[in-house]
Structure 1
């Protein structure tokens, strides 16, 4: 393979669709835990919105004492915080489900992370004054269009329960990695909801509304819902917290390797607590050994990088597996939780290699 076409040297996004744009990060060729905006995965339901930031206002309304309008300039003067957050599409690894689930067949790269700077959502809610009886906070984006199941035009809107909206690390972000958020990732304002799948992190924020009921928008009540039964909607429940998960980055699936020493490396992440253990199997799950966690996400919302030293002297085919456990005792299952729309895949990761 020539140098100019080697994806490990010149990685690029992996396209699933271009209108709307849905492309994943080349996660197996990412060596940094800070993802460059050009390689940050892109997930859209509609075309990119048309925005003019010169007249941009953020509206906070609904069940509040005093509806407010905030300018970008005002936001920059408010107390801010910077948090390192992993964002994972809830459809990440969908292509691995058996039987197949409908939707974009994301491989293992619908996940990225970096530093987000912004103002806690709570700050805006406090300034507007939340009235008694408030239950949810609806965040509406500027992106809109028709869904495949309706002729109506919808904006992308999601809600958070009041408790999650008031969490100090739920922020209205305006910078990514010390630069204004790139337009394709939500400029000028993007909601960042740590520990929840990224559909909650609404881009191109148009307005924030406090309501006293359960939000029923289609991206809340139809999409981003686990439907565990093939034939009906019985037992359904909403997609929220990220499942504990891991991905083997090196070696690559179906690599041919020589006998000797090899490094098996990858990343693990969770939506509850922190990663406490990563185990690796080189014999298809018959035996497991602990990997060395290099960067541990102690008290933060980032992934943990890990490595395992493997000495192999016998030629043949090997199945390598990784299994992460978090501080709440959640471990990756051997069989994924199948659901109609293919959300939340987090079964033990596995690849195959051949030793010659």
Structure 2
């Protein structure tokens, strides 16, 4: 067999669990600005739902004057927009918390991004005419089951405050990267909430309910809540906006490098504003240098790609860190805020390499 006959290795999802299916994106090997759907991370609480797209309807009811049922075709004929959005599981990087926390032990691959096309949720809601006492919009998914620590059987459901639900970039999406959303990522309709952790972007939408009171479903009031103390639930707060964060894609953690010049590269993202600065340290935080951010990546809701040329002529072991700062002056801390369920990890990213 000649060298040309050897099969070319391809990146693949990293399995965390199969039932339900939870798999990480191989983020270190993502070179493009959008993630092809076979490598888009998968996060599920339950088994995949069974539903037919041939007879699909989306009802909107609750604190509205004109309850309405939309057909999929009707939704697809409404004014649409396409938005590049990064979706990050709120448990991304959970395994790095110290002390350790229970839950799916995600590494740095519970994050992906691409181009979502859909109808602004506000267009659908405006057709139903909100009542004066409307407060929140609940989006219910078709996926359901039992979840550890929660009594009973529940559909996955989340609510948005009216202001966020009516934001022009909160959309009911039906396409991903110019194709129908793949079934495992929410086909035929998925809510996309830019800037918020991905638990808000409900998949397989079953119905939308406008409510005049605060929603207290288990995935709103028990799960996806920051509990800052180990032995009490005091000072709890809901998980909403993504923290500023970054990931080093190359070199890889534990890699052995030849002495010379090397490109350190990665991605950075935030739920508020835009990434303004990315700093790299090659001496475990003693000194920092600014990395270059790709010019066309500053706008929108996607991550930015960054790179830094490192001159590594001295042999030895090195700890490399990356730290992002956004336009709201939020920076990654050296250590993240610990919480019981391990949400929102955003400590400076860290890898170790050896130069020989």
- Report Cα offsets for 1:99-149 as digits up to 9, x if no partner: 001100000000000000000000110001110011100000000001222
- Partner residue in 2 for 1:153: 153
Q: Name the SS for the 2:234 alignment partner.
A: coil
Does the 8 A contact of 1:247 with 1:267 survive in 2? yes
Does the 8 A contact of 2:298 with 2:304 survive in 1? no
Q: Name the SS for the 1:152 alignment partner.
A: strand
Measure, in 2, the Cα distance between the counterparts of 1:168 and 1:280. 35
Q: Name the SS for the 1:128 alignment partner.
A: coil
Does the 8 A contact of 2:59 with 2:70 survive in 1? yes
Measure, in 2, the Cα distance between the counterparts of 1:248 and 1:78. 40
- Partner residue in 2 for 1:50: 50
Measure, in 2, the Cα distance between the counterparts of 1:304 and 1:181. 24
Shift of residue 312, structure 1, vs aligned partner: 1.2
Measure, in 2, the Cα distance between the counterparts of 1:222 and 1:151. 11
- The runs of at least 4 aligned residues of structure 1 exceeding 6 Å deviation read 2-6
Q: Name the SS for the 1:66 alignment partner.
A: coil
Shift in CA distance, 5/280, structure 1 to aligned 2, threshold 3 Å: farther
Does the 8 A contact of 1:275 with 1:297 survive in 2? no
Does the 8 A contact of 1:296 with 1:303 survive in 2? no
Q: Name the SS for the 2:75 alignment partner.
A: helix
Does the 8 A contact of 2:120 with 2:168 survive in 1? yes
| TM-score, scaled to structure 1 | 0.97
Does the 8 A contact of 2:137 with 2:211 survive in 1? yes
Shift in CA distance, 4/140, structure 1 to aligned 2, threshold 3 Å: farther
- Report Cα offsets for 1:68-127 as digits up to 9, x if no partner: 000011011100000000000000000000000110000000000000000000011000
Number of aligned residue pairs: 353
Measure, in 2, the Cα distance between the counterparts of 1:151 and 1:137. 24
- Partner residue in 2 for 1:212: 212
- Partner residue in 2 for 1:177: 177
Measure, in 1, the Cα distance between the counterparts of 2:322 and 2:295. 16
Measure, in 1, the Cα distance between the counterparts of 2:304 and 2:201. 21
Shift in CA distance, 329/126, structure 1 to aligned 2, threshold 3 Å: same
| TM-score, scaled to structure 2 | 0.97
Measure, in 2, the Cα distance between the counterparts of 1:21 and 1:80. 31
Describe how 1:50-199 pairs up with structure 2 within 5 A. Answer: 50-199=50-199
Shift of residue 5, structure 1, vs aligned partner: 8.4
Measure, in 2, the Cα distance between the counterparts of 1:235 and 1:76. 43
Shift of residue 299, structure 1, vs aligned partner: 3.3
- Residue 264, structure 1, aligned to residue 264, structure 2: yes
Measure, in 2, the Cα distance between the counterparts of 1:312 and 1:140. 52
- Partner residue in 1 for 2:313: 313
Does the 8 A contact of 1:181 with 1:187 survive in 2? yes
Measure, in 2, the Cα distance between the counterparts of 1:66 and 1:295. 46
Shift of residue 53, structure 1, vs aligned partner: 1.0
Structure 1 stretches of 5 or more lacking a match? Answer: none
- Report Cα offsets for 1:200-236 as digits up to 9, x if no partner: 0000000000001110000000000000000010010
Aligned CA RMSD, in angstroms, stands at 1.3
- Partner residue in 2 for 1:244: 244
Measure, in 2, the Cα distance between the counterparts of 1:135 and 1:71. 25
